[in-house]
Structure 1
Amino acid sequence: MNPTAFEMLKSLDTAFNEDLPTKENLQAELIYNNISQRKSIITSLEQLLKNCTSFDFAVAFITKSGLLLLKDCLHLLEKNKIPGRIITSDYLNFTDPAALSEISSFTNIKIRIYNKNNFHAKGYIFKRKDDASIIIGSANVTQEALKANEEWNVKLTCTKNSKFYEKTIDAFTTLWNDSKILSTDWLLGYQERYNLSQKARQKSAVFNLTNAVPIIANAMQKKVLKALTQLRQQGKQKALLISATGTGKTFLSALDIKNFQPRRVLFIAHRGQILYQAEKSYKKILGNNISTGFLTGRQKNFDADFIFATINTLSKEHIINYFSPIAFDYIVIDETHRAGAHGYQRIFTYFHPAFILGMTATPERTDAFDIYSLFDNNIAYEIRLQEAMKTNLLCPFHYFGITDIEIDGHPVDDNISFNNLICHERVIHIIKKAAFYGYSGTRVKGLIFCRSIEEAHALSCAFNKEGFHTLVLSASDPPQTRNEAINKLAQAEREGGLDYIFSVDIMNEGIDIPAVNQIIMLRPTQSPIIFVQQLGRGLRKYANKAYLVVLDFIGNYTNNFMIPIALFGDNSYNKDNLRRCVSDGKNLLYGPSTVNFDAVARKNIYLSIDTARLNDTSVLRKAYTDLKNKLGKIPALSDFTKFGTVDILRYIEKFGSYHSFLQKYEAQYTIELSSTQEEILTFICKRFAAGKRIYEIEMLRMLLLNNNSLFSEFINLLQKNYKIILTSEEKKSIINNLTNTFTISNEREKYKHCIFIKKVADDYMIADEFSYCLQNKPFKDKLKTLLNFAITRYQKYYTNNYPHTSLCLYRKYTYEEVCYLLNWPQKINPNAMAGYFYESTTKSMPFFINYISSKQKRVAYTNKFTDNRHINIYSKKNRKISSSDAIHIYSTTEENHLYLFVRKPFEQKESKEFYFLGEIKAVGKPTPAPQFNGFEIICELTVPVRADIFDYLIE
């Protein structure tokens, strides 16, 4: 007999919760990895660990990489004396003995080994006072499983007196009792078995590599090679390849040369070490029998078919004149961002090859030199850090933003004295953190970046006194010294080798040490470009290197806001976006890579973001110049999005329109508009360019295409193209926006010419003055480009509307935008809307909350989330429970709609936007709040707040 739906629900109630409480957090949840939804298994585990009173894990495999992702959280539990038990196995000798040793060092964790059968369980139990959450699925404790793999796990929450909880604990207890205590003797024996298994795996990998087919292009490289071929077919003789460090630019150039079949090749770099590495790569691709030679301070091989030359040697007059200007068919210039220097300019002037290829990871320069123009703005391909990670071209990395120490009660900042930088307390702090987070492999092979050579030497000496093998490399060291140091760092054995190389900037670029498994940053971030260059030193894949550890010691530095820009490639310069990057870093990077900030480091970055002037004219002008140089022309509106630079809306906020910015700062921009046309352009930019509603945008575009269009025809167009049927309130709202009656009186005068339609009989058509303005072609073209840009933004961000609104969940809106998107007849002064406002004609009531966490609150009546579906909200001052405010909020007779908008209280002054969290309803009864002569409301959200947004807001 099939069970009824009621019987099934009853069985679930009995299994998971015999007391039948109605808590929101009792619902089952699928736990998985999905970067587009900002979800990861590691984030779910961390959230549960931070809120538990004890925990039990039963997992088949644990690796150092997986443990590393949990280390910060486990350390916090240790400090708070939260006990835990872990069962794992020696099945297939896969679990890393180093990970077992590290786990056993936590004073709050007991660990046992199950080795009776082929143990393959993956279960996690998180106990709280009255209930527990249990995750059962497919994820082991490895970096791939917790962050990147397609893993399915179910989280179930139940009370402690339920059958499900009892059976799960019984099963765990049985395994625990049948498992071995992790002893030193057992671990030593397992280490031997593990090492033998590792050697067998490595031998198999070497065999496969040795017997592999010749190196061929991967999918990404094929795209680049195709692009280079197409450029040459178009008659182009120069091209620039922009590709993140570690993605194989040198291999790519060799593959293209293999296709091109040149007679002679010249490869140019600024250091000999790069040349020797390039020659090895070329021989792997083109064969060991190619004729190669070097032009350096020590070698002068003029007659080889493939010449690898340092720029300093080649640019000398007697050297360059040895060659005919057409001696080489193909020239490669590595690290091309240096090509603004005089020596490179001489190369470009002297040689005339059939093709010249420039390669760089960072074409942007701090001196504003236009690298792109050297290559006629022919960008063959661009693959930055995020895309390289997405396509698995780089080694995963785990970044830890660590608070630098306080000295005599003062944090490390931009003005710290030299003596404090190198003091013993700081050295021990760095060493302890480096040991805690560790490295991939059997020994550390690290780079440490300092702010000065003097600091590097002093810290190197201090490290050596603590038993490390380190030295300093600087630009004054000869190539032989550098090569010896690099070889010692990379060697397998520690004896006779180096643990760390200290440097300032010599290791930023061009030096290839794939074995690097730990990078320590002991300097303020002065540039996202340099940050990525230094990070890139460790991102090359290497045998037996599963990941790179990056330790960034963060002080109270002015430029800390550059860290999220560099890590996540977010060039929007939107402060809220940057904060979200810091808050939700684990879920924003592709693959197994993660980003973690400790509490104080995060606070320091937030402070830097708060005080930074991200819409400063100098910032916007530099971003514009960089993009113009890249394109070789004045950028179009769409180019800012296409090439991932500063959001064009920052220019609109600052200058009113992109046209106004160009008029002020671009000498080549010659378009002149009348004052009326500029007024209209500014109005449309500020009101509609963000693309948050399609109605007005499409009506204006329709008028541009045909100034005889009628409003009734526009309604039909919306239904045909967007499947939208307008309500009467929406029609009125559009008309109010396009006749400038929505705007409040003082702004109505400011934009008095911004009337786009006029009433004719029972319809609307184009207004006379607007029609006249459109006769000016430059103006009409400007509007057309602007409206197309707005439509693109709408289609990308704002199509998934919340029921009965033009709003989208978790998008951000200003006071003014909320007014017209809720179809209000007129804009309301923001001061009147603060807190909440009831609009009688639409019966809508938005609540605007500046959310302050309990730790930050300055008054006793701060609005507060009690969970992701409930929030306590306070009325305005001097409001009684019998007031109209309470009537509108609690009314059951009126069809009122209450909407919740929340923002961080320190949201940027430049753009006061609130996250839209959906519709709410008041539950229970209002409670008097005599402390301000008002009342408290408990509100329930129709849709629970998405996890990443909720965590960010309450953080």
Structure 2
Amino acid sequence: MDNQNDILEGAKTAFINETYNPANDFKPKFLSNNFNHKVLNSIKDELQNCDEFFISSAFITLGGLTPLLQDFLELEQRGIKGKILTTDYLNFTDPKALKKLQSLDNIEVKLYAQEKNGFHTKGYVFRKGNIYKGIVGSSNLTLNALTVNKEWNVEFTSLHDGEVLNNLLSEFNNLWDEANNLEDVLPAYEKLYDSQKNFTKLKENYKKLSSEDLVPNSMQVGFMESLRSLIQSGESKALLVSATGTGKTYASAFAVQDFNPKKFLFVVHREQIAKQAINAYKNVFKNTKDFGLLTGNSKDYDSNFLFSTIQTLSKDDVYTKFKKDEFDYIVIDEVHKAGAYSYQKIMDYFEPEFCLGMTASPERPDGIDIYELFDHNLACEIRLKDALEEDLLCPFHYFGISDLEIDGKTVDDSTEFNQLVSDDRVNYLLEKSAYYGYSGERIKALVFCSRKKEANELSKAFNKRGHPSIVLTGDDSQQTREDAIYRLTNDEAKNKLEYIFTVDIFNEGVDIPEINQVLLVRPTQSPIIFIQQLGRGLRKFKNKDYVVILDFIGNYKNNFMIPIALSGDRSYDKDNIRRYLMEGNKVIPGASSISFDEVSKKRIYNSINNTSFSRIALFKEKYNNLKFKLGRIPMLLDFYENGEMDPLLILNHTTMDCYYSFLKKADKDYDEYLSEEEISSLKFISKNLASGKRPHELLILKSLIYNGYFSVELIEHLLKTEYDIQNDVKSIESAIDVLNLDFSKKDKKDFPELSFMNEFQISNEFKEYLAHETYRKHILDVINYGLLKYKTEYNAQVEGENLTLYAKYSRRDVCRLLNWPNDDSSTLYGYRVKHNTCPIFVTYDKKEDISDSTKYPDKILFLHLKLYVTFLNLQQFFKSKNSVFFLKK
């Protein structure tokens, strides 16, 4: 009966009044592809929770199927059965996708032979117990239809006897009975599909690409405009920070073309990259320039456009052949390496009119300030998330796969070599590579290993099993590398390769756009290296619809870096990292997808839980990164606005009183001074109010600072106009108590001399502190940081409450935000009925040895207030006065 009522309430919300019960999970929904939600996400959610499913889609492609492969595999392991119906209409459905589905024991697939009438169905039905969820509309089982196309679909919930559901299932069953078993018709359909595809390919071969086809992408246009502005303002250096695969080399070529130098120098760290850069520049400049190579194998000193390796150029007898002002324009690729002596020598020697540095990752762990080398002129910054939003990269499907247990032990940082290359692990890698597949006619994969010896043994094992592969390391010659890449990428090559094994030589710079699968069989050492290796497959290429990334996740201590790298979130907030692990697929832009199997998720959660982000060394590293980028000492607000690290980690550290205390420890150049009393005042605000969970105290302080007074009416006005908070006098009164130290006995004890106000006027002590510019700067920084944090993280509050859904609060926070007159956090445990409120604290991570009364199921939490009673200590509860509060409710 409850389900029936929920469905009725959902219908009222969907079709009568959207405010009726917006939190109802059973309400019909309109589904389309938008920021933070794709149709794909809804299908994945239902697959993960269903007992049975039925899909009818006119078109099915490998691209549409691939992001669901992890879900289908888990359904097979759980014995959840499903039926998928498609058609030969327009010969569009990909036979490879049908074969993939056919390989799964739990899924039946049929092909409807379209003869007279078109077949356009797009419907997905999922059963969970006696509840059915349906998604019907315009989305086929194709990649773009599920992720980026403008599609209209409706999701509805029904019980078994619902009319719409029964009509839908009846139609499905009728079509199913008329359709052909896949094994009976697939060979003939595949021949028809291939012949049509070959005809299409033949027509494409007649298309001629002209020079007009080469135009800057959105990143390159923005970069060129910014660079032009810098040059016009008299700057002589600039930095381009852009994700791997977004076209930095072409961006530089367009910019150089715009500048039109007489002599030009391009500096790289490998000859292969220099050759690729020459090809890019030739495509832009055509035959208008004299291009040359300066490497260990080529000595084209006299060329007007010279491309050189740093190893050759930095030799004393080479760079001194050129005058200091020989080149009008210099581009330095992978400039994060510029801290090395060889780069420094070149940059100190040459005096071009303009010097451009390019990198995907300017941050360095060794403390070298790359930004300073280019006068802090950041011409453009586009990270992975931005590049995906701008459609600059090939979509990727990332799969976090649990690495194999060998002899009952999970692969970890200390696993012995013999286990890493065992037959079982080799078979496992090949099995997963085959299952998750690739886009294109044949596999062209890169495999990143931890060490050369492992790469060699795995390559031998792959070759033995009929999968041609080779190992490339830094010891191989340039010619060997080029030959291997040709055999991997060129379909006409003799002795074609399927896999290239390596350790790190392909981490950066080398352009192999044909790569359609990347295997990561090593622990993640840093988010930067992770993105570099991921980026090897992200370049767009003809007939490559997506790239598959397979990350084999063992019990590695650095697993927490994976969601950090994928999200680009540098806040180091554990809740953010956990949230991305759960919901990354929902927020990643474009047609890309992210999936983890359950074991991998658990391993990453363990890594997050066991890793401390409250380390001074981490704080200093992030501080230096931001200081280098800004060219000055950053404040709290700078950290937050630049997404470098959530400064609350610093403020909450047990050894830090406030941000000033951190600066004194972290930066030897910081020479400002605060008194003990001023530090104590900052400590109170930093520890208690900087989190931004309520703006009231911060607005009162701001008014005292700027006006010398405040009033309840003024704070009410500010709350209403700036934060849309209305009729909240009780919270203002509570905030006054907090600032007067009347809320907490502990505060009175810890800060006996602290005084911000005298009635509604600024106190003499506070006014005296504010006369000191350093103190004034720091307190305003904390206040503005807290207010911005409130606006971005806590402003979506439940109406009439100071609490935000899904946010995290301490017991002290709860007492303060419920406007209790005193801080009862030291004696507040499971629940407390007080002042007509009842906060309930629920243990999510329950250990095995706890009492039965605490072993409640997590999934019932926060459904209905009436359910809470069931999970409190019932016998004691009904004897207490608290039961009256609940039963009235």
CA distance change for structure 1 residues 159 and 96 in 2, over 3 Å: closer, same or farther? Answer: same
Counterpart mapping for 1:668-747 below 5 A: 668-719=669-720, 721-722=722-723, 724-743=725-744, 745-747=745-747
Question: What letter matches 2:800 in structure 1?
Answer: H
User: SS at 2:506's partner residue?
Assistant: coil
Counterpart mapping for 1:642-681 below 5 A: 642-654=641-653, 655-681=656-682
Question: What letter matches 1:133 in structure 2?
Answer: K
For 1:818-837, what per-residue CA distance to the aligned partner results, in whole angstroms no more than 9, with x for missing partners? 2222111111124x222112
CA distance change for structure 1 residues 397 and 209 in 2, over 3 Å: closer, same or farther? Answer: farther
Preserved CA contact (<8 Å) 1:443 1:494: no
Name the structure 2 match of 1:583.
582
Question: What letter matches 1:729 in structure 2?
Answer: K
CA distance change for structure 1 residues 505 and 817 in 2, over 3 Å: closer, same or farther? Answer: same
User: SS at 2:123's partner residue?
Assistant: strand
User: SS at 2:212's partner residue?
Assistant: coil
Match of 2:799 among 799, 803, 807: 803
Counterpart mapping for 1:522-921 below 5 A: 522-654=521-653, 655-719=656-720, 721-722=722-723, 724-743=725-744, 745-759=745-759, 764-830=760-826, 832-840=827-835, 843-852=836-845, 859=852, 861-864=854-857, 865-866=859-860, 869-870=863-864, 872=868, 874-875=871-872, 879-890=876-887, 892=888
Preserved CA contact (<8 Å) 1:364 1:626: yes
Name the structure 2 match of 1:90.
88
C-alpha distance in structure 2 between counterparts of 1:534 and 1:362, whole Å: 13
Name the structure 2 match of 1:908.
none
Question: What letter matches 1:875 in structure 2?
Answer: L
Name the structure 1 match of 2:456.
457
Preserved CA contact (<8 Å) 1:849 1:863: no
CA distance change for structure 1 residues 235 and 636 in 2, over 3 Å: closer, same or farther? Answer: farther
For 1:462-513, what per-residue CA distance to the aligned partner results, in whole angstroms no more than 9, with x for missing partners? 1100001101000011101101111111112575211000000011011110
Preserved CA contact (<8 Å) 1:732 1:825: no
Question: What letter matches 1:597 in structure 2?
Answer: F
Question: What letter matches 2:675 in structure 1?
Answer: S
CA distance change for structure 1 residues 203 and 233 in 2, over 3 Å: closer, same or farther? Answer: farther
How many residue pairs end up in the alignment? 866
Name the structure 2 match of 1:476.
475
CA distance change for structure 1 residues 494 and 582 in 2, over 3 Å: closer, same or farther? Answer: farther
Deviation at 1:98, TM superposition (A): 0.5
Question: What letter matches 1:572 in structure 2?
Answer: S
Preserved CA contact (<8 Å) 1:519 1:550: yes
Question: What letter matches 2:147 in structure 1?
Answer: K
**Percentage identity across paired residues of the two chains:** 40
RMSD over equivalenced CA pairs, Å: 2.5
Larger relative strand fraction: 1
C-alpha distance in structure 2 between counterparts of 1:25 and 1:634, whole Å: 48
CA distance change for structure 1 residues 415 and 496 in 2, over 3 Å: closer, same or farther? Answer: same
Question: What letter matches 2:236 in structure 1?
Answer: Q
Deviation at 1:746, TM superposition (A): 2.8
Q: Any unmatched runs of 5+ in structure 2?
A: 1-6, 16-22
C-alpha distance in structure 1 between counterparts of 2:882 and 2:659, whole Å: 42
CA distance change for structure 1 residues 856 and 795 in 2, over 3 Å: closer, same or farther? Answer: farther
Deviation at 1:103, TM superposition (A): 1.3
Preserved CA contact (<8 Å) 2:709 2:761: yes
Name the structure 2 match of 1:446.
445
Preserved CA contact (<8 Å) 1:835 1:876: no
Name the structure 2 match of 1:3.
none
C-alpha distance in structure 2 between counterparts of 1:167 and 1:718, whole Å: 53
User: SS at 2:558's partner residue?
Assistant: helix
Indicate the larger mover: 633-642 or 248-257. Answer: 633-642
Indicate the larger mover: 685-694 or 734-743. Answer: 685-694
Q: Any unmatched runs of 5+ in structure 1?
A: 1-7, 17-22, 893-920, 922-955
C-alpha distance in structure 1 between counterparts of 2:205 and 2:785, whole Å: 52
Preserved CA contact (<8 Å) 1:242 1:359: yes
CA distance change for structure 1 residues 674 and 328 in 2, over 3 Å: closer, same or farther? Answer: same
Counterpart mapping for 1:351-430 below 5 A: 351-430=350-429
Preserved CA contact (<8 Å) 1:753 1:769: no
CA distance change for structure 1 residues 713 and 834 in 2, over 3 Å: closer, same or farther? Answer: same
Preserved CA contact (<8 Å) 1:851 1:863: no
Name the structure 2 match of 1:338.
337
Name the structure 2 match of 1:253.
252
Name the structure 2 match of 1:272.
271
Deviation at 1:193, TM superposition (A): 3.1
Deviation at 1:712, TM superposition (A): 4.8
Whether 1:41 aligns to 2:39 is yes
Deviation at 1:356, TM superposition (A): 0.4
Preserved CA contact (<8 Å) 2:32 2:38: yes
Match of 1:55 among 53, 56, 60: 53
Deviation at 1:577, TM superposition (A): 1.6
Deviation at 1:90, TM superposition (A): 2.1
For 1:646-683, what per-residue CA distance to the aligned partner results, in whole angstroms no more than 9, with x for missing partners? 11111111123211100122111111111111111111
Whether 1:195 aligns to 2:194 is yes
Counterpart mapping for 1:199-348 below 5 A: 199-202=198-201, 210-211=209-210, 213-348=212-347
CA distance change for structure 1 residues 46 and 12 in 2, over 3 Å: closer, same or farther? Answer: closer
Question: What letter matches 1:665 in structure 2?
Answer: A
C-alpha distance in structure 2 between counterparts of 1:524 and 1:12, whole Å: 49
Name the structure 1 match of 2:98.
100
CA distance change for structure 1 residues 880 and 687 in 2, over 3 Å: closer, same or farther? Answer: closer
Preserved CA contact (<8 Å) 2:723 2:795: no
C-alpha distance in structure 1 between counterparts of 2:861 and 2:494, whole Å: 56
Name the structure 2 match of 1:118.
118
Indicate the larger mover: 173-182 or 243-252. Answer: 173-182
CA distance change for structure 1 residues 529 and 721 in 2, over 3 Å: closer, same or farther? Answer: closer
Indicate the larger mover: 480-489 or 494-503. Answer: 494-503
Question: What letter matches 1:359 in structure 2?
Answer: M
Preserved CA contact (<8 Å) 1:400 1:552: yes
TM-score of the superposition, structure 1-length normalised?
Answer: 0.87
C-alpha distance in structure 2 between counterparts of 1:540 and 1:632, whole Å: 33
For 1:374-408, what per-residue CA distance to the aligned partner results, in whole angstroms no more than 9, with x for missing partners? 11222111111111111110111111111111122
Question: What letter matches 2:287 in structure 1?
Answer: N
C-alpha distance in structure 2 between counterparts of 1:758 and 1:608, whole Å: 49
Question: What letter matches 2:258 in structure 1?
Answer: N
C-alpha distance in structure 1 between counterparts of 2:820 and 2:773, whole Å: 34
Deviation at 1:867, TM superposition (A): 7.7
Indicate the larger mover: 726-735 or 194-203. Answer: 194-203
Preserved CA contact (<8 Å) 1:254 1:285: yes
User: SS at 1:157's partner residue?
Assistant: strand
Preserved CA contact (<8 Å) 1:852 1:863: no
Question: What letter matches 1:163 in structure 2?
Answer: E
Deviation at 1:144, TM superposition (A): 2.1
Question: What letter matches 2:659 in structure 1?
Answer: Y
CA distance change for structure 1 residues 212 and 264 in 2, over 3 Å: closer, same or farther? Answer: closer
Deviation at 1:747, TM superposition (A): 2.5
Name the structure 2 match of 1:136.
136
User: SS at 2:519's partner residue?
Assistant: strand
Question: What letter matches 1:751 in structure 2?
Answer: F
